[in-house]
Amino acid sequence: MDKRDFLRGLGGCSLAALLGPTAWARWAQLAPQELAQAGEFWGELRAKYRLTSEYINLENGYYSMMAQPVLEAFVERVREVNFEAARYMRTRAESERTTTRAALAQLAGCPLEELALTRNTTESLDLVIAGHDWKPGDEAVMAEQDYGTMLAMFDQQARRHGIVCRRVSVPLHPRSDEELVELYARAIGERTRLLMVSHMINITGQILPVAKIAAMAHAKGVAVMVDGAHSFAHLDFAIPALGCDYYAASLHKWLGAPLGAGLLWVRQDRIAKLWPLLAPPPGRADGDINRLNHLGTHPVHTDLALRAAIEFHRELGPARKQERLRHLQRYWTGRVRARPGIVLNTPEAPERSCAIANVGVEGLAPAELARRLFEEHRIFTVAIDSAGVRGVRVTPHLYTSEAELDQLVAALVALAS
Ligand SMILES: Cc1ncc(COP(=O)(O)O)c(C=O)c1O
């Protein structure tokens, strides 16, 4: 099979190809805020997903399904890699992986030399946490609302290397960015080496002012690691603009990529200082980002299909996607925020949240609320009952319709009355 055949099918996921060039050109003229409310366009896009009629899926924060064209590209890549087998692995796997990384680096707004492909956020962040050169008594700062297994990885370093973990608690409804910056600043001491901050808190959807927190931490000589599991391909930003040292994301969440795809961005001058989780082949320079993500033999077709997901995402455009996702969240939260008995655990200011929000109903435990939403109203969410947050997390995605959110609103109102 020649290379052109092999690459065939990686294209075809652009909106011009999917909706027709004339139709897409017409929609693309609208400003992102206008397009966000153009139901006809989103209805056409929704048709590119295979959705169940059994229930409304509002748990896209865990894993977001691929659009059908991306899924088809993925299946095709599985077939092709299987067909060429070891010859593909020996002759092309590495260069194809670099091509995929380059497409991702372009999307992330960062140099290729600073971006590694990983399997998920967990692998990326754990690599940084465990790869740090910890000394006994060193300190790390994080939040109670950060992801559980990352906190567990820091605790493991505490047991192994004698480091001290300091946890702040992020308020559900902060009054200002300064309040949040100050919260993290107060936890930094003489021995603080690393600060972890979530770009978007997974249990509430709250967006944190990471660039301001990073600037404050750097002024105190502390490195900053951003958990971007929920921000990449969701919010419109370039990774280096966050001003952090490390950034990690899962691509099977907001990019709509196949399961098991993630990224790790490391600022150039930090690469040589990290210990890889798995030792790379000999001969890699200390400053080579590929030193950090040696995996051994792994499902390379996932990396290949990433290009289809990138193409689908890129043409829709980060700004249009962000505005639609924010519109969906504000569409339903705006209808329940003032209702008696309903408690929103996500800040109201538009810049402090996007697609994800968390809602509770007074008198109902989160697990009971999630159960009744599913059993009585066929709405799938996830219960959250930790770190001061009691409710269900509601996460729409590009294919979610306003009619589905009307059903959510009606269900919440019924459950609260
Ligand atoms: C904030 C945050 N960090 C890390 C992770 C871990 O992501 P993954 O399981 O894809 O590694 C998640 C998963 O939901 C998350 O929400």
CATH number of domain containing 359 = 3.90.1150.10
Half-sphere exposure of 112 (CA within 13 A, CB side): 7
Q: Supply the CATH number for residue 208's domain.
A: 3.40.640.10
Question: Which residues lie below 8 Å from residue 95, measured CB to CB, with a gap of 6+?
Answer: none
Whole-number pLDDT of residue 1: 38
Whole-number pLDDT of residue 8: 44
**Pair 286, 323 in one domain:** no
Whole-number pLDDT of residue 5: 42
Q: Which atom of ligand 1 is nearest to the CA of 121?
A: 11
By C-alpha distance, which of 312, 299, 318, 317 is closest to 97?
299
Whole-number pLDDT of residue 394: 98
Encode pLDDT of 122-179 as tens digits. 999 999 999 999 999 999 999 999 999 999 999 999 999 999 999 999 999 999 999 9
pTM for the structure as a whole: 0.96
**Pair 140, 193 in one domain:** yes
Whole-number pLDDT of residue 299: 95
Whole-number pLDDT of residue 252: 98
Half-sphere exposure of 94 (CA within 13 A, CB side): 7
Whole-number pLDDT of residue 11: 53
Residue from 124, 147, 151 to probe ligand 1 pocket by mutation (most atoms less than 8 Å from CB): 147
Whole-number pLDDT of residue 201: 98
Measure 308 CA to ligand 1 centroid, in angstroms: 22
Whole-number pLDDT of residue 15: 84
Bridge partner residues of 16 (DSSP): none
Measure 69 CA to ligand 1 centroid, in angstroms: 25
**Pair 212, 299 in one domain:** yes
Domain extent, residue 137, equals 91-311
**Pair 284, 393 in one domain:** no
**Pair 339, 396 in one domain:** yes
Whole-number pLDDT of residue 146: 98
Bridge partner residues of 198 (DSSP): 227
Whole-number pLDDT of residue 315: 86
Residue found under tokens 């099979």? 1
Could you tell me if residue 14 is left (phi over 0), alpha (psi between -120 and 50 degrees) or otherwise beta? beta
Low-confidence ranges of the chain (pLDDT < 50): 1-10
Measure 20 CA to ligand 1 centroid, in angstroms: 35
Residues with CB under 6 A from ligand 1: 62, 120-122, 147, 198, 202, 227, 229-230, 250
Name the 3-class secondary structure at 198: strand
Q: Compute the distance between CA of residue 201 and CA of residue 206 in angstroms, rounded to an integer.
A: 5
Measure 122 CA to ligand 1 centroid, in angstroms: 6
Whole-number pLDDT of residue 4: 46
Q: Which atom of ligand 1 is nearest to the CA of 122?
A: 11
Measure 271 CA to ligand 1 centroid, in angstroms: 23
Contact between 278 and 126 under an 8 Å Cβ cutoff? The reply is no
Q: Compute the distance between CA of residue 149 and CA of residue 162 in angstroms, rounded to an integer.
A: 19
Contact between 67 and 46 under an 8 Å Cβ cutoff? The reply is no
Contact between 119 and 248 under an 8 Å Cβ cutoff? The reply is no
Which of 290, 311, 332 is the last residue in one of the domains?
311
